[in-house]
Amino acid sequence: MIHFIGAGPGAPDLITVRGLRLIERCPVCLYAGSLVPAAVVASAPKDARVIDTSALTLDEIVAEMHEANARGLDVARVHSGDLSLYGAIAEQMRRLDAHGIPYDLTPGVPAFAAAAAALGLELTLPGVVQTVILTRTAVRASSMPAGEELSELARSRATLAIHLAIANLAKVVRELTPVYGADCPVAVVHRASWPDQRILRGTLADIRAQAKEAGLTRTAIILAGRALGTSSFTESRLYSSEHSHVFRPRKR
């Protein structure tokens, strides 16, 4: 069995209990070392085969899985963040399906959630914004489908969590400013939850200059939207004394 595991954003103690238990018992552990710290897989069995796949091709990674499965060995395949976002696991699962190799998925803490926690933010505020869009920008590895350009997504005025885009920050600013305004709050969180985490706070007008001065070129998430810079929002009725529901019936 191949166990795909979301390792979380970086801090070893942010992996799920289920993910940790799988790593602890799997005799083969493949991890994306470019984004997953070695400390996350340090709990693998003492005699486990532990491989950093950052320098391997898809064919080489799948070959390791195939060989382990043929020997009856379980594999912990560890990716950064959560598996459902930009993890390149779909292509691995497609290869495993073709080989008839079973697998399962264990989710992890996504980077945007770790970034919001580092900033002390709730990304959805009553009366301000109730939608979060997770997206990215086009790079050499992957283009963006038609209709998913930032200029189009910006029309929603949602909180934007923009992954893999710090090198394209000029484009991000250029496409968001006409809709969000130059004064729109923006934050950049570099290596969220890692010991060397860095946080930049600003607006669309000045965030590019800040990032350039800080020398940030990779491994950062960009958050943009009005939820990042306001304390003027309506309190939720969830905990209001005037609001009743099945768990808190109206007092008679």
CA distances from 189 to 109, 245, 247 (A): 15, 38, 37
> Any residues with CB less than 8 A from the CB of 193 and at least 6 apart, and which?
8, 9, 10, 11, 14, 114, 117, 118
Distance of CA 150 to the CA centre of its chain: 18
- Residue 183 backbone dihedrals phi, psi, to 5 degrees: -90, 5
Task: Write down the pLDDT at residue 246.
Answer: 57
Tokens of 205: 């007008």
Neighbouring CB atoms inside 10 A of 96's CB total 20
Q: Where are the alpha helices (DSSP H) in 11-124?
A: 17-25, 58-70, 90-99, 111-119
Amino acid in position 246 = V
Q: Which residues contact 103 (CB under 8 A, 6 or more apart)?
A: 1, 2, 3, 4, 77, 93, 96
Q: β-pairing, 132-136 with 159-163?
A: parallel
pLDDT tens sequence for the chain (252 residues):
999 999 999 999 999 999 999 999 999 999 999 889 999 999 999 999 999 999 999 999 999 999 999 999 999 999 999 999 988 899 999 999 999 999 999 999 999 999 999 999 999 988 899 999 999 987 666 778 888 889 899 999 999 999 989 999 999 999 999 999 999 999 999 999 999 999 999 999 999 999 999 999 888 999 999 999 876 667 665 655 555 555 657 666
Asked if 105 and 83 count as a contact pair (C-beta separation under 8 A), the reply is yes
Best CA proximity match to 36, nearest among 18, 57, 50, 49: 50
Which amino acid belongs to residue 223? L
From the number of C-beta atoms within 10 Å of its C-beta (0-12, 13-18, 19+), residue 77 rates as: buried
